[in-house]
Structure 1
Amino acid sequence: MIKVTPFEDFGHQDHGWLKACHHFSFADYYDPDRMGFGPLRVWNDDHIKAGTGFPTHPHRDMEIVTYVRRGAVSHEDSLGNRGRTAAGQVQVMSAGTGIRHAEFNLEGEDLDLFQVWVEPDEIGHQPRWDTRTFDRDRVSDGFVTLVSGRHGREHEDALFIHQDAAFLAAVMDTGETYEVSLEPGRRAYVVPARGEIEINGVRVPERGSAAINQETALKITALSAAEVVMFDLP
């Protein structure tokens, strides 16, 4: 089963400095039918103006994945971490027992990113932060795993999260097709960050989403040049 939601049907808020699109209920946007998808609790599609951002605020017991689509985000937190995550890169913050952080756009251009929250496998983990690069310009041979906590262990070349889930990305040329396998009983949440795709014959528009259940084989075709991200979830 593949349920498609177009970008226009998500929750939208315009704060001037921030234009936020909420895939699931978040902040002042509430839809009882959109409270999450398995352990996936938040998927925000944010446009942040240059020179603005989120001042220091707290989190706990949440795995927070940020995928930068354009520009760069500068991070600092109460653990002493400081870093700049640019377009094509991904960062992970495990809030665990508690962390305070700030995320700002210190660049001369606007910033576009996905911020995704995943509930952890249990509460009380040690908080941490890390980042890595996804080279969107190289020839991609299928989906690349950027973040993973599959089977409760760390995976080579992927940032770790405390959940049996994986975050993957691919860049596709028009007409290109990739096949992705899902283990029985698992689900996937797929978002074309750029371009339009088709999954098992079902069209998914740019920046819309496909919530996928009870499918073990996904045939993903780019109907135009596309950048696609997905979460493989329990």
Structure 2
Amino acid sequence: MIEVRKFETLGAANHGWLDAHHHFSFANYYEPARMGWGAIRVWNDDIIAPQSGFPPHPHKDMEIITYVRKGAITHEDSMGNRGRTEAGDVQVMSAGTGVRHAEYNLEDEETRIFQIWIMPETVGAKPAWGARPFPKGDRSGSFVPLASGLGDTGALPIQTPAKVLGATLKAGSSTDYRFEPGRVGYLVGAEGKFRVNGTEVNARDGVAIRDVETLTIEALEDSELVLVDALK
């Protein structure tokens, strides 16, 4: 099954400093049919105004992955970590037993991010944070693990048996991705227009994938893709 969830059907909330769109139920957006997808609980498409951001707030027992699409995000947390993650790069936070963090756009331009929450395999783990650059050229033409709880070399570690992958495709090119049995996928394009197993998809649409062995993606325009592969 492949279900395209058009961007205009997503939950939305504009707070002035934050223009948020929710692929799944979140905060004041409640849609019983979109409570999550397998172990994936949240996928937020956020635009953060310059010199603003999320003040310190707590989380517990959740794997939180931030993919920066434009600008940069500056992270601070109660573990003493601080870091700045730029466009195309990724940060991860395992909330575990509990952590407070803040995410600020300290730039003079808007910052655009995908924030993805995946449920952990076990509760009460030790909190952790990490970030690293992922040059887009290194994922040209195929999916590369950006964050993984399955031991993928070079990926940021998360505490759940899932993968967050990225790919860039030139117009006219294609790539395949194979799912193991018992897993689901959720795909969003940060940029571009493409086909997924023959179905046309625009940037920022969501593609929910279940009971599909092989995903074939054909780029109709230059495209930047983010895919999560998780347990059902």
Match of 1:155 in 2: 152
> 1:233 offset after TM fit, Å?
1.1
Q: Please, which runs of 5 or more residues in structure 2 have no aligned partner?
A: none
Match of 1:109 in 2: 109
TM-score by length of 1: 0.97
- Equivalent-residue separation in structure 1 for 2:24 and 2:185 (angstroms): 15
Instruction: Say whether residues 1:223 and 2:206 are aligned partners.
Output: no
Match of 1:2 in 2: 2
* Structure 1 stretch displaced more, 139-148 or 169-178: 139-148
Name the SS of the counterpart of 1:229 in structure 2: strand
Structure 2 counterpart of 1:171, from 168, 171, 189: 168
> 1:185 offset after TM fit, Å?
2.2
> 1:218 offset after TM fit, Å?
0.9
Amino acid at match of 1:117: W
* Structure 1 stretch displaced more, 136-145 or 195-204: 136-145
Match of 1:90 in 2: 90
Amino acid at match of 2:193: E
Equivalent pairs counted in the alignment come to 231
Q: Please, which runs of 5 or more residues in structure 1 have no aligned partner?
A: none
- Equivalent-residue separation in structure 2 for 1:184 and 1:17 (angstroms): 42
> 1:155 offset after TM fit, Å?
2.8
Deviation string 1:17-60 (CA, Å, 9 cap, x unpaired) is 10000000100111111100011000000000000001000000
Structure 1 counterpart of 2:199, from 193, 199, 202: 202
Match of 2:229 in 1: 232
Deviation string 1:139-174 (CA, Å, 9 cap, x unpaired) is 714111101112xxx332001111111000011110
Instruction: Say whether residues 1:77 and 2:77 are aligned partners.
Output: yes
Kept in 1, the 8 Å contact 2:186–2:209? The answer is yes
- Equivalent-residue separation in structure 2 for 1:50 and 1:145 (angstroms): 30
Identical amino acids, percent of aligned pairs: 52
Match of 1:142 in 2: 142
Name the SS of the counterpart of 2:33 in structure 1: coil
TM-score by length of 2: 0.97
Deviation string 1:75-94 (CA, Å, 9 cap, x unpaired) is 01000000000001100000
Q: Once superposed, what is the RMSD of the aligned Cα atoms?
A: 1.0
Amino acid at match of 2:133: T
Q: Where does structure 1 differ by over 4 angstroms across 4 or more consecutive aligned residues?
A: none
- Equivalent-residue separation in structure 2 for 1:35 and 1:190 (angstroms): 16
* Structure 1 stretch displaced more, 34-43 or 181-190: 181-190
Match of 2:100 in 1: 100
